[in-house]
């Protein structure tokens, strides 16, 4: 257990921050999963900007790595292009 007040506070902050980050990362994964499951191109094109915005925000706040966000956006764009 922590011996200093500052380290106890850091532990409390980390728990709160971890929970916050997990929520947004999970929300992003669900949105990506939903987009990948789509078969209708019009619906996928309509949802893509929202997912792209979510990925950019998470990369900006270091919840996910910026290259991971770029890779996901690229693969989603390729998936949308394949839809007929």
Contacts of 72 (CB under 8 A, 6+ apart): 32, 55
Write out pLDDT tens, residues 50-73: 999 999 999 999 999 999 999 999
CA atoms within 13 A on the CB side of 74: 6
Write out pLDDT tens, residues 2-57: 889 999 999 999 999 999 999 999 999 999 999 999 999 999 999 999 999 999 99
**Which domain, by its residues, includes 65?**
5-82
Number of structural domains, the chain?
1
Contacts of 15 (CB under 8 A, 6+ apart): none
Contacts of 65 (CB under 8 A, 6+ apart): 59
Q: What is the CATH number of the domain that holds 50?
A: 1.20.58.110
Q: Quote the pTM value.
A: 0.84
CB 54 within 8 A of CB 28: yes
């Amino acid at each position: 257990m922590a011996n200093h007040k500052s380290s106890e506070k850091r532990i409390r902050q980390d728990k709160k921050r971890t929970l916050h980050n997990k929520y947004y990362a999970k929300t992003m994964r669900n949105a990506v999963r939903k987009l990948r499951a789509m078969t209708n191109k019009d619906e996928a094109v309509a949802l893509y900007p929202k997912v792209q915005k979510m990925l950019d925000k998470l990369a900006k706040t270091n919840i996910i790595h910026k290259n991971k966000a770029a890779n996901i956006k690229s693969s989603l764009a390729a998936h949308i292009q394949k839809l007929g």
